[in-house]
Amino acid sequence: MMVPSDLPALAQTLLARLGVPAATTGARLVISPVDGAVLGAVDNTPPEALDALIGRAQAAFLAWRAVPAPERGALVRLLGEELRRHKDDLGQLVSLESGKILSEGLGEVQEMIDICDFAVGLSRQLHGLTIASERPGHTLRETWHPLGVVGIITAFNFPVAVWAWNAALALVCGNALIWKPSERTPLTALASAALLARASVTWAATTGRPVPTDLSSVVIGDARLGQALADDRRVPLVSATGSTRMGKALAPRVAARLGRSLLELGGNNAAIVAPSADLDLAVRAITFAAVGTCGQRCTSLRRLIIHHSVRPALMARLRTVYERLRIGSPLVDGTLVGPLIGADAYQAFEQALEQARAEGGVVWGGGRVTVPGCEGGFYPRPALVEMPGQTAMMREETFAPILYAVGYDTLDEAIALQNDVPQGLASALFTTDLREAETFLSAEGSDCGIANINIGPSGAEIGGAFGGEKDTGGGRESGSDAWKAYMRRATNTVNYSHALPLAQGVRFDL
Ligand code: UN1
């Protein structure tokens, strides 16, 4: 496939098919990282409009919480159907707007579909517990209730899937949503919202009642919008994905009013390669994890901790693979590495390599690749960096395709290195030794929210809980029981006897 030369026209065609009115006249320009073209121009949401919007979302919540959960699930099922129908269009738009390769753009929409399926099933399984009461004639149980308006803040790198993780769960849990997407990716947000709006029309036609107005909305603008959500008591949960810096600025504001935040922040993910590792498999897994999405996943592999006995062989093979990486337009079939999101990201990439050299690193790769027809895009040559040890700069996350390699002698030493960074998102060990594998997954092993064996740290399925510890923020989204963050728990004691025994045997005779 040739690179379509007129990306703005393609973007507007895709938007029209997805049900978004022409986005060409607003004050905020949307730049494609593919070639630097202006894809569209959208309206900013004035920060002062948020107060009324939160009020309307609150009213929508009060109506939505009374709808039975399986019926709420039906809306999410319809959203999943719209996404299936428009997977190609939305997947292409994701590629155009975020720069990820088309297969990953489509994969992202698949991730939305998957979480919708999960949430539909969940809508009949918002289970509480029954608990044995210590008192005769009493029952003790817990129930889960809708929470309120959920603020969702997302990043450019997964411009739609992360919203869907939050939105699909929050909707079946009976909440209203206000979504602040990255300023860099408003078009895919508007398109996702348009698909939900279509699903809402179908839901209304089949149930005979409308979806409450402003049950779900998108606000476009800068950090002030996120701050307004963080500060507003009518937003009991703020779910934020982005940098640790952003999370550290936002979370104290939410905490100041004793609200809840669900944080999905930076990662600094490592893979350990043990002497027994299957190197064929490891090379493929490492390369995908390090250069996929141009190193701009929060789960991207950034540090390689290699046993000294296999280090020369593995690094030689990685260099060969890196030399053959197809770097180019993400819209061209077969491309593996697309552009960084913009000039600032490219500058951070260069600066990190500079710093690595200053700290004793030997760099293979690096520099900017000129892609014919896409001269306005910032295409980096992914870098492999042999480091003398885990230096200070390796403890920071650079959102770019840089893979640092260090050596180790014992597994204990490797695990200590893996854990010795501020972040705690994803980790991996390549080994065929059962003892090593189980040690890595044990309490004394990886300290991350995600710990894998013989698979890289990125590319998680939606079925598991997703998130990490330490500077990653501690939140869990997506599968497993992550839904509980979107509900409030009530403990209920019912006395069906004629007596009033007090707990703990306390006597209070009148
Ligand atoms: C992110 O980078 O914010 O596990 C999310 C993965 C994807 C999600 C990444 N499923 O890499």
* Strand partners of residue 38: 31
What spacing in Å lies between the alpha carbon of 101 and ligand 1's midpoint? 15
Cβ count within 10 A of residue 434: 10
- Residue 97 CA to residue 38 CA, distance in Å, equals 10
CATH topology of domain 7-265+473-491: Aldehyde Dehydrogenase; Chain A, domain 1 (3.40.605)
Q: How far is the CA of 133 from the centre of ligand 1 (A)?
A: 42
For ligand 1, the distance from its centroid to the CA atom of residue 424, given in whole angstroms, is 14
pLDDT beneath 70, residues of the chain: 1-4
Q: How far is Cα 337 from Cα 326, in angstroms, rounded to an integer?
A: 6
Distances (CA, A) of 40 to 32, 253, 260, 287: 9, 33, 35, 34
Name the residue of 110, 165, 298 to mutate for ligand 1: max ligand atoms within 8 A of Cβ: 298
SS3 270: strand
Whole-number Å distance, alpha carbon 51 to ligand 1 midpoint, is 32
- Using alpha carbons, select from 28, 484, 107, 44 the residue that is nearest to residue 293: 107
Q: What is the pLDDT of residues 74-117, one digit of tens each?
A: 999 999 999 999 999 999 999 999 999 999 999 999 999 999 99
Which of 466, 472, 476, 478 to mutate for ligand 1's pocket (most ligand atoms within 8 Å of CB)? 466
Neighbour count for residue 442 (Cβ, 10 Å): 11
Cβ–ligand 1 contact at 468 (below 6 Å): no
359 as an active site residue: the answer is no
Task: Give the β-pairing of 450-453 and 426-430.
Answer: parallel
User: Which of 97, 108, 264, 386 is labelled catalytic?
Assistant: 264
From first CA to last CA, the distance across the chain in angstroms is 86
Q: Is 158 in the pocket of ligand 1 (CB under 6 A)?
A: yes
By C-alpha distance, which of 187, 193, 174 is closest to 79?
193
| pTM for the full predicted model | 0.97
* Residue 37 backbone zone (phi > 0: left; psi -120 to 50: alpha; other: beta): beta
Q: What's the pLDDT at 1?
A: 47
Q: Supply the pLDDT for residue 211.
A: 98
User: So where are the chain's domains?
Assistant: 7-265+473-491, 269-466
Compute the distance between CA of residue 204 and CA of residue 215 in angstroms, rounded to an integer. Answer: 13
- The complex's ipTM? 0.97
**pLDDT tens digits for range 129-169:** 999 999 999 999 999 999 999 999 999 999 999 999 999 99
For the chain, percent of residues with pLDDT exceeding 90: 98
- pLDDT digit string (tens) for 168-215? 999 999 999 999 999 999 999 999 999 999 999 999 999 999 999 999
CATH placement of domain 269-466: 3.40.309.10
Helical packing angle, 87-98 and 102-122, nearest 10°: 120
